[in-house]
Amino acid sequence: MSKQKKQTKTSSTKKKPAQKKTSTTKTTAKKTTAKKPTGTKKTTKTTTKKSTTKKSTTAKKPTAKKTTTTKKPATKKKLTTVKKKTTTTKKPTTTKKVVKKVVKKTPEVEGPLEFYLKAGEIAIAVKKLLRSKVKVGASVLEICEAGEAKIKALGGLWAFPLNISINNVAAHYSAQPDDDLVIRKGDIVKVDCGVHIDGYIADTAFTVSFGTGHKDLIKASEEATKAAIDLIRPGITTDRIGAEIEDIIRSYDFRPIRELGGHQLDQNLLHGPIMIPNVKGTKGIKLEENQAYALETFATSGTGRLLRTETKCYIFQLNPIPIPLRLDSAKRARKVILSNYSNFPFTTRWIAKELSTPTAKISLRYLADKAQIKRYPVLSDVKDSLVSQSEHTVFLTGNSRIITTQENQ
């Protein structure tokens, strides 16, 4: 805009002397004829008026053209360049925002269930292997090592040590580094397997009999777990599930184990705050969508009350509050636990692979006495009783549930 004002002023200054020259007499004509070379050379000397009028007209025309030519291209260039810049800058910003929104939504909605399903697939494959390994004369140590190696080979991680509980032993027996226990004829064997993917767990168990008269005992826990699966969904309360489990087990003339039962699962959390009881009379808690649960039932021919054998403890879990330690081997053991098993239970056998077997046993006993690790002692019913176990993991969705660990669904 500032350039256009200067050009109009210059054109107006040229017009004023031209008007004065036309009004002068013949005496002034000599002055004008002297100035003619600045105009066109072909003009004649006839009259001063005609020559002056020609000069004025010729002076006006180029100034008008200059003003018009300067205005038009300047305005066109500015308008076209501004429009192109605004249109090109808006399009990429809108596409980038849409892509970011899609990426944020997918892990929140599909992530947990996808991991639960992957862990369940691995657990199913491991159970298939274990069913072929569990037989009369088989070493419990070899079964545990084979199952745990299969979990790693399939891309999973251990949610807890593989449990092999025989006869009246209900839970928490995992082979020791020097374990010589073997499966014998007449035994009833419970296999409990745990897998996790990114902290999301598949917890599943089954029972195998190598004797006679165990069929109904195994069926009692299996049918109780099936009934719990049929009942569980968002909105149901835990007391209703527990009552159904007890009714089914007692219908086979066996007892449920009161101290054991199902439990809530979450990322890096094997035993959540909500429990699924095996018995009636408990306070009901309403279950919600997008929660995972291990539905775990136990049937026994014994009393239904467990005995804790503190001297037989092979599974532990880290407590999160460390204290200063004096024993060097305990410091090394805690370092191994923090590096590999900070969120889930572990066994003496795993620590012995990093240290020696005697060092592992002494260190874990010391850490347990100092409350640095939690004990999971072997749990048993009375002598000569038999216990069966059945377990599956479910994920609650909408008005239903997905079983993540069941074969041939």
- Bridge partner residues of 188 (DSSP): 209
Q: Catalytic residue numbers?
A: 192, 203, 263, 271, 296, 391
Contacts of 385 by beta carbon, 8 Å cutoff, 6+ apart: 167, 168, 300, 301, 302, 303
> Angle at which helices 140-153 and 48-133 pack, to 10 degrees?
170
Q: How far is CA 115 from CA 43, 75, 263, 395, in A?
A: 99, 62, 18, 11
Task: Show the tokens assigned to 197.
Answer: 């993917």
Name the burial class of residue 405, with classes exposed (0-12), middle (13-18) and buried (19+) by CB atoms within 10 angstroms of its CB: buried
In 3D, which of 245, 283, 274 has the Cα closest to residue 389? 245
Q: Quick one: pLDDT at residue 409?
A: 61
Q: What is the pLDDT of residue 35?
A: 41
Give the per-residue pLDDT at 110.
54
pLDDT at 23: 37
**pLDDT at site 10:** 37
Give pLDDT, residue 407.
84
| SS3 at position 332 | helix
3-state secondary structure 84-115: HHHHHHHHHHHHHHHHHHHHHHHHHHHHHHHH
Per the CB < 8 A criterion, the answer to whether 263 and 240 are in contact is no
Q: pLDDT 10s digit of each residue in the chain, 409 long?
A: 444 433 333 333 333 433 433 333 333 333 333 344 444 343 333 333 333 333 333 334 444 444 344 444 444 444 343 344 444 444 444 444 444 444 444 334 457 999 999 999 999 999 999 999 999 999 999 999 999 999 999 999 999 999 999 999 999 999 999 999 999 999 999 999 999 999 999 999 999 999 999 999 999 999 999 999 999 999 999 999 999 999 999 999 999 999 999 999 999 999 999 999 999 988 999 999 999 999 999 999 999 999 988 789 999 999 988 899 999 999 999 999 999 999 999 999 999 999 999 999 999 999 999 999 999 999 999 999 999 999 999 999 988 999 999 987 6
Domains of the chain listed by start with CATH number:
114-403 (3.90.230.10)
Instruction: Give the pLDDT of residue 243.
Output: 97
Task: Say how many Å lie between the first and final Cα of the chain, rounded.
Answer: 80
Q: Hey, what are 161's tokens?
A: 């040590």
Helix (H) or strand (E) holding 352: helix 348-354
Instruction: Give the burial string for 129-163 (b: 16+ CB within 10 Å, else e).
Output: bbeebbeeebbbbebbebbbebbeeeebbbbbbbb
**Phi and psi torsions of 134, nearest 5°:** -80, 110
In this structure, what DSSP letter does residue 42 have? Answer: T
pTM of structure: 0.73
